[in-house]
Chain A
């Protein structure tokens, strides 16, 4: 306060000095004691008001860019000043009262704005053009780690997940239990071995027991380790590692989505980065960029290859958020990663078999009534929200616990969660699909 008063005097001393001079002048120039008393009193009021005004201006100027939310206080000070002036200066009474009232209204509204939770939009993410082809193996590997886990060095973080969404099902660390899909540690050495498996049928795709024999007509089978990896990404059902097929399919169908297709849609450059990381992180020499791309070109026809945008938005606000709810339904579910494990009626590409079918308009009321249900939900929407934020609150029969990531609460915005819950709650057996954006 003392500091503020000091600043006010520093700012307004010429005016204050002039008013003091005026006060002294009135003492000498007015002979009528009544008039002199009145003039002196009014000048004193003037000095007080001027001081108050300078305090207000000083406070406003000093805090303009600061975090302090006290700027409306300046407006209150001027309100007080105006009303004092209105009281003691009858000639301008109406003007000062009106002015004071306006300052009061502005102070109240400004104060309201400062009282609400403060949200600031961050700087825009810089656009970085990624040229995978000219990257070194190390750089390519780093980009691959970002695609799989969301950041460099994130591969050791529990629950870290990137655009590729691989950790939803795959384990990547040695000895890590991976129930839904094979642990990918050691894949550079293991992949050539897979070609010798009895069900693989190298160079004889027609003999395969799987539902889909080859990636596309005439693509053939892999003939080396890198091609095996490329085929697994682009045609997961062409060969299913024993024990990891869709339940009841006798390992003829894989629950894994095609990585170059929605919902994940990795480009060939991104796939090359992912593969390079899997080699380099084990200290193995990775095939060259061109070799990896060529291996994918063998299994992905040109028309199916996602466009090489080559642009990535880095950093910025909300970099850890999967989706913010502004996306259309298909894209929202895709970004949240749900289709990788769940079948969701009406959502493009959502044919995952790892988790239960999400017909929640019908399922949720039944589950809330289930005696085994120990959650807190009382309505279908609450149940769905709970299942997303805390998947272990109730585990659907025949599906294992601890499979679904538990960090959706910090990876989805309120808007995204609301939109997902709204859509799922409308899915009912025997009823038409809800409208989508």
Chain B
């Protein structure tokens, strides 16, 4: 009877928790429903267009009067719609359209935007990590491990909390910069996006509320059903965060590939067309993955900083582990990132071929060579970290002698990957070279060869991960020998297939050669998706050679994490610059022309310097955030349990 009562009470609690969660979710998502209803009922007409016109247009339709509403044709969807917005302003180089300080306005906006973006990416990525790690902790059967995961998730969210307020501050600075330096442009955009802007603001409120409840309710909701409620809150938090990001992306999507307006830039009454532009979805996917990889890098750098400044072995062990988890999560999202980038580029080409060529084979092509170099650096660094990490495992030394071969493959892959093929050049350079091919490099560097290079690098990285997983374990399953041979053959065939296709590409026309990327990528993905689970299956019940000695890793490995984080931050700045620059002299591509004195594209060197400035500014400021985190931790009273010595201050343990 008593047991039944307890079960009923538990059941009630579950029901209550679920209902509470639904109410909370409903309240948080209420702003979206309200705004969407408002848009659907006609309240979404942008400020640029007089609502009276809309009303008049509707009346005309209803009353059948002959008075005509001016219709416009959507520049992208080619549909007809009432031109209810104002045309895009035709600006001129003067103080009215482009008020300025005694400095290049574009660079000021660039810095403000980039800083906001860095922090925004970080605070959107970290809750996703928290969700994954908290979930891992909840389902873990090992109680000690579960606690460790829970602590880690808490550490992550704590770091992001200070960064969150900085994100909001930087968002404010960004809007002020827009209003002050580009009032006509911002006025036009905010006119088009008025309904979405309100949703954005409301979502931000919802995001803040959820985040604070999630963080401050950590201890209150740590047991039983409430823990699941807590985890569900992180899901809501991430849904809101993702919607926020999608809305922000719609602005840049509209600027690159406008839709929902006519040739004059007049809004045609369909806000979904304005949001759902040609590049919106690929940008969304690319940014989610990019944010995750970036967030992983930042947290790994934080862990590295704490590791290097640790005074005790316990601290070192904790931050070593934290760095490893963050790096693994970051790299897990880094691997699919090139494929998402490929999709984005394909959509860019499909939208405007000229835009694609400006990116990949024209004015901005050299920047892609830098990008290729950086991707190579990121993978090399990841491998280096994994090889160093083998050092903290008994048995890891078994693999050390093979590392030189991996280095050879990685370096060869990188050299092929960064070899330029057709690069924009001046007519004089073209003539001096006697054609478009370099006299030394000749035909090298075609796309299939480059794909071969990067796929060889990714496959090698997968192999490094597999070796790392086996570092201190020996498979004992009955089919271990067969598994090893199969795995070895799979990797060798994968690499041979990749190299063969890379070479074969030289003997077929360019348009056919492009298709080779499919079997090349398929080979790499097969290695990733088949060999990693196979390895895990082989390691079930494996014989351990010794424990992982967390904290017993060479300090230089932590510099690899910092390298990873810095290089990723730099690459993010670079790619953002490329994406924005491809509009050339358009504020909104082919709709609103940039007539400011800064409508030209800077040199690569100048761009590289500003990107470096942005990267360092971000890291100096985030170091400040990290430092704030340590201050808070020192003030938290350490829970003292009877019979246990009070531990030395461990900044990331109290909550």
Contacts and interface: CB of A to CB of B under 8 A. Distances in A.
Interface of A: 60, 64-65, 69, 71-72, 75, 93-95, 97-99, 101-103, 105-107, 109-110, 112-114, 116-124, 320-321, 324-328, 382, 385-386, 389, 409-415, 417-418, 421-422, 425-426, 434-435, 437
A413 to B, nearest CB: 7
Nearest to B594: A124
B615 A94 contact: no
Contact of A414 (B305, B366, B422, B612): B422
Contacts of B511: 422, 434-435
A97 B308 contact: yes
A376 to B, nearest CB: 9
A120 B309 contact: no
Main SS class of interface, B: helix
A414 B430 contact: yes
Nearest to A382: B435
Contacts of A106: 566, 570, 612, 615-616
Given A106-B615, A114-B605, A389-B435, A122 B600 contact: yes
A98 B612 contact: no
A263 to B, nearest CB: 19
Contact of B425 (A105, A414, A421): A414
A101 B559 contact: yes
Given A99-B623, A123-B600, A426 B422 contact: no
Interface centre among B309, B422, B427, B593 (most CB of A within 10 A): B427
Contacts of A326: 353-354, 357-358, 362
Given A94-B309, A103-B616, A123 B585 contact: yes
Nearest to B558: A98
A119 B562 contact: no
Interface centre among B357, B423, B430 (most CB of A within 10 A): B430
Contacts of A437: 353
Interface string B559-571: 1001100110010
A26 to B, nearest CB: 26
B370 interface: yes
B436 A385 contact: yes
Interface in B311-365: 353-354, 357-358, 361-363
Contacts of B609: 60, 64, 71-72, 110, 113-114
B623 A113 contact: no
B480 interface: no
Nearest to A324: B362
B374 interface: yes
Nearest to B107: A64
A112 B431 contact: no
A426 B585 CA distance: 36
Contact of A113 (B361, B362, B599, B607): B607
A186 to B, nearest CB: 35
Interface string B597-610: 00111111111110
B370 A413 contact: no
A120 B370 CA distance: 16
Contact of B361 (A60, A94, A120, A415): A415
A382 B439 CA distance: 12
Given A97-B308, A326-B354, A326-B358, A121 B601 contact: yes
A398 B628 CA distance: 83
A435 B511 CA distance: 8
User: Chain B interface: which size bin?
Assistant: 35 or more
Nearest to B304: A98
A435 B512 CA distance: 10
A101 B581 CA distance: 29
Interface in B404-423: 422-423
A386 B617 CA distance: 51
Contacts of A107: 612
B373 interface: yes
B612 A121 contact: no
B144 interface: no
A116 B436 contact: no
Given A325-B361, A422-B510, A435-B511, A105 B567 contact: yes
Interface centre among A412, A413, A426 (most CB of B within 10 A): A413
B465 interface: no
Contacts of B424: 119, 413-415
A103 B430 CA distance: 37
B647 interface: no
Nearest to A109: B570
Given A106-B566, A106-B615, A434-B509, A120 B601 contact: yes
Contacts of B611: 109-110, 113
A95 B623 contact: yes
Contacts of B605: 69, 71, 113-114, 116, 118
Contacts of B604: 113-114, 116-119
Interface centre among B362, B566, B605, B619 (most CB of A within 10 A): B605
B369 interface: yes
B434 interface: yes
Contacts of A385: 435-436
A326 B602 CA distance: 21
B308 A94 contact: yes
Contact of A413 (B427, B559, B601, B620): B427
A120 B431 contact: no
A118 B510 contact: no
Contact of A109 (B369, B600, B612): B612
A109 B608 contact: yes
A116 B607 contact: no
Contacts of B427: 320-321, 409-413
Given A120-B603, A121-B584, A426 B357 contact: no
21 contacts: A101-B566, A102-B566, A105-B563, A109-B611, A116-B366, A116-B370, A118-B603, A119-B604, A321-B427, A327-B354, A385-B435, A389-B435, A409-B431, A410-B428, A411-B427, A413-B424, A414-B425, A415-B424, A422-B509, A422-B510, A435-B511
A363 to B, nearest CB: 17
